[in-house]
Amino acid sequence: MTPEEEAEFKRRQKSRNIVVAGALLFFVVLFYAITVARLGSQ
């Protein structure tokens, strides 16, 4: 792998990691909100 390819590899990996982290955070918040909403309706 050339240095350019390695840099591109790392860039793609990093952007994917950021998206996965964002998605996980979103679902943590969503499940908290769902729990609150469901408890509130009971």
Partner 1 sequence: MTTATPNNTSRARLEGGEPVHAAVLPAEWRDFYALTKPRVMTLVIFTAICGLLAAPGQIHPVLGFTAVLAIAMGAGGSAVLNQWWEADLDAGMKRTSSRPLPMGSIRREDARDFGLFLSGVSVFLMGVAIGWLAAALLLCAIIYYAVVYTIWLKPRTPQNIVIGGGAGAFPPLIGWVAVTGEVTAMPMLLFAIIFFWTPPHFWALALFVKSDYAKVGIPMLPVVAGERTTRNHIWVYTLLLAPITVAPWLISGTSWIYGTTALALSALFIALAIPVARRDAVIGEGDPMAEEIRLFKFSIVYLFVLFAALVADRVLEAQGLIGSGLFAGGVFA
Residues that bind partner 1 (CB under 8 A): 1, 5, 8-9, 12-13, 15-16, 19, 30, 33-34, 36-38, 40-41
Torsion angle defined by CA atoms of residues 2, 8, 12 and 14, in that order, rounded to the nearest 10 degrees: 90
Place of tokens 């943590």: 28
Question: Six-digit token pair at 3?
Answer: 């240095």
Cβ proximity to partner 1: between 9 and 25 the closer is 9
Q: How far is the CB of 21 from partner 1 (least distance, A)?
A: 11
Q: How far is the CB of 2 from partner 1 (least distance, A)?
A: 12
